Structure 1
Amino acid sequence: MVVGAGVVGAACAYYAARSGLTVTVLDRGPVAGGTTGAGEGNLLVSDKEPGPELELALLSSRLWQELAEELPAGIEYEAKGGLVVASDAAGTAALRKFAAAQAEAGVTAEEVPADRLHDLEPHLAPGLGGGFHYPQDAQVQPALAAAHLLRASGARVRTGEEVTAVLTGAHGEVRGVRTTAGDLHAPHVVNAAGTWGGDVARLAGAHLPVLPRRGFVLVTEPLPRVVRHKVYAADYVADVASGSAALQTSAVVEGTPAGPVLIGASRERVGFDRTLSVEVLRRLAAQATELFPVLAKVRAIRTYAGFRPYLPDHLPAIGPDPRVPGLLHACGHEGAGIGLAPATGALIAAALTGRQPPVPLAPFRPDRFGPDRFGSDRFGSA
């Protein structure tokens, strides 16, 4: 049984069903009604330093390519690549060092001198210091990807049912869940509840310090292909790795097959506050037009907010919870959940069937957070 019908939960259902298991997916809202529906669909290796998350991202990159062939074209998989740009020579040198370390881990990164940036992106602002092209970066339409994964899994999907308790046996082992529509019995429960993963963990008596990290996206009117790649400024990588609760914005600009340009990215820990922030939108617009001056005369037709499921060490919780037999976690991916979904699903399926996982599970252990180590005072909402 999978709790959460976002793209991570859908991937868990898909790979579990492919392994021969019967799967039920529950969600208190609609399919992709949480973080997935508010995502841009980024499938990135470019923003990850060598380590467990990058290993997971490289596996997911390969699996997304397979899924693009297996699922309908409607998921809008686009292997368009990413372009990371620096404003000056010092920034370019830092990108060069970062890319060299990534290359040793299997990432393809190609340096682009300042005078060749316009070959890749004709509308980029002049005077930039240089950049790196990442051909492995890609994009999907996240809500459609989740829906098609669920459909292809053959799982029974029950939406509009909130989980109110995790049922356990005499020795504390999972026996199913209680929902607003009644009890459902299963020997395993996968917590893929995204930003609410900490709440589901608490229902089972486990501690998982997932917190919401709010972000806004600006959406422009449909345009010809003004932006060809996912393009972002070098400081985006530092923002992704930061644990600060304060507002951070860094330019991330990308076109879509449908025409609109998506503009991000902001991060701040303000709980589940969905209040529209004019300050954030101004910053995003200003930073985007610094990268692409052509956007200054383009209309922004809407904006939306979402909550990234943040864990203090920036790694997701994936795999069995040794504190509660039968409970598995697949949450806490922050802004990388869409990109990391297939690898997460493959890891969960391996754990459920006793197979060797495709990458080591140890870095993602759900019990690595103790209440004394990451208490609410330090990582509470700002």
Structure 2
Amino acid sequence: MPKRQPVDVVVVGAGVVGAACAFYASRSGLSVAVVDRGPVAGGTTGAGEGNLLVSDKTPGPEMDLALLSLSLWRELARELPADIEFDPKGGLVVASGEESLAALSRSVEGQRASGVEACHVTPDRLPEVEPHLAPGLAGGFLYPQDSQVQPALAAARLLSAARAAGAHLYLGEEVVRIPRERETGRVGGVCTPRRELSSPVVVNAAGTWGGQLAALAGAELPVQPRRGFVLVTEALPPLIRHKVYAAEYLADVSSGSAALQTSPVVEGTPAGPVLVGASRERVGFDRRLSVPVVARLASQAAALFPVLADVQVLRIYHGFRPYLPDHLPAIGPDPRVPGLFHACGHEGAGIGLAPATGRLIASAIAGERPALDLEPFAPDRFDSVCHVT
């Protein structure tokens, strides 16, 4: 017989979002269990670059979430007992031509109104900011708030802190059933092949598997995987000071197209290798290496930074972003299933948005007024879409 254990909250998912939910729930005094089918940061988190960005957000709910989360990441970098490699490196968005620069400038106006810092960099000053950039660019904008963490470390440190507060961690255990009370329909916890965790609250932080987990509880959530590749170069002397990307990346992030999209995103790391992205395509969970995508990314990176043209790529990895149709995550209680909370669908921004998500979830579980309005993130907002035939 599986072991039965009662807790206040079960968090399904040991990526950075689930870790943040466990951290803030544990800190509020709740007994928490975290369950994951794999290891810590074994999914999207482990394939991420650790970006904490405001530069790629448009004014509105996601921007509000990003700004709150960035302030919380700064707090966590000071408070957590071990290093998460928090680096306030800043981001630089560059435009290849005047038309692209004009569109970027219009975007910056709205961002500034939301509290984002963005400094115009003229073409003649680009070499001061990034000495190895290709010549002939029309200019760009520097975002000093953009930062970075090491994502797997961040998830591990948050879970370690949650465990220090009493949380339990069960890895390599897939949730196979979410029982519900017959009379009220409320969730009763989760079942894995090894144990039953009894709880009145289940948090779906299952990332790209969030739709399948929701279905176990009887709810629909149209999460789909959106694949992306990252190239890792050989260790290099410090060449790239910021996270640097082309203005076209902004359109790719907000696009709902299932087709392949690539735009150059380049950044250095403390250890020396340079990371090169970014690609997006919806191909299910196809894990095959796409040579054309990798070649395109390498070509675009070398066009942006010619110094990289002859640099060796030592490793290529990929991950799947948990995509929802309106590009906003699902955060908060599910009105269709009492006791079910969602914290998934962050697409490629989950690392940056994790602390705010965790704090909002902890507040919602406690019945407190959340720091942000949860209505834009309502898990049932797709019901009319899901049922269209």
Give the 3-state SS of the residue equivalent to 1:97 in structure 2. helix
2:305 is the counterpart of 1:296 = no
Q: What corresponds to 1:5 in structure 2?
A: 14
Contact 1:312–1:374 (Cα < 8 Å) also in 2: no
> Quick one: which amino acid aligns to residue 39 of structure 1?
G
Give the 3-state SS of the residue equivalent to 2:309 in structure 1. helix
Q: What do the CA deviations read for 1:141-184 (whole angstroms, capped 9, x no partner)?
A: 00000000000112211001000010111221011011111211
Q: CA separation in 1, counterparts of 2:94 and 2:291?
A: 26
Contact 2:93–2:141 (Cα < 8 Å) also in 1: yes
2:285 is the counterpart of 1:272 = yes
TM-score (norm 1): 0.97
Give the 3-state SS of the residue equivalent to 2:83 in structure 1. helix
Q: What corresponds to 1:380 in structure 2?
A: none
**1:356 CA drift (Å):** 1.0
For residue 356 of structure 2, the aligned residue among 336, 343, 353 is 343
> Quick one: which amino acid aligns to residue 227 of structure 2?
R
2:320 is the counterpart of 1:307 = yes
Q: CA separation in 2, counterparts of 1:337 and 1:236?
A: 17
Q: What corresponds to 1:162 in structure 2?
A: 174
In the TM superposition, what are the counterparts of 1:152-191 in structure 2 within 5 Å?
152-154=161-163, 155-170=167-182, 171-191=184-204
Q: CA separation in 2, counterparts of 1:291 and 1:162?
A: 43
2:86 is the counterpart of 1:77 = yes
Q: What corresponds to 2:74 in structure 1?
A: 65
Identity of matched residues, %? 70
**1:72 CA drift (Å):** 4.3
Q: CA separation in 2, counterparts of 1:17 and 1:373?
A: 35
Contact 2:80–2:161 (Cα < 8 Å) also in 1: yes
**1:74 CA drift (Å):** 2.9
Q: CA separation in 2, counterparts of 1:222 and 1:185?
A: 48
**1:275 CA drift (Å):** 0.2
Contact 2:220–2:386 (Cα < 8 Å) also in 1: no
In the TM superposition, what are the counterparts of 1:212-231 in structure 2 within 5 Å?
212-231=225-244
TM-score (norm 2): 0.95
> Quick one: which amino acid aligns to residue 375 of structure 2?
A
**1:73 CA drift (Å):** 5.0
Q: What corresponds to 1:244 in structure 2?
A: 257
In the TM superposition, what are the counterparts of 1:94-243 in structure 2 within 5 Å?
94-154=103-163, 155-170=167-182, 171-243=184-256
2:33 is the counterpart of 1:24 = yes
Query: Any runs of at least 4 consecutive aligned residues in structure 1 with deviations exceeding 2 A, and if so which?
Result: 374-377
Q: CA separation in 1, counterparts of 2:99 and 2:72?
A: 36
Give the 3-state SS of the residue equivalent to 1:65 in structure 2. helix
**1:91 CA drift (Å):** 1.3
> RMSD over aligned Cα, in angstroms?
1.0
Q: CA separation in 2, counterparts of 1:331 and 1:376?
A: 23
Q: What do the CA deviations read for 1:120-149 (whole angstroms, capped 9, x no partner)?
A: 100000000000000010001000000000
> Quick one: which amino acid aligns to residue 39 of structure 2?
P
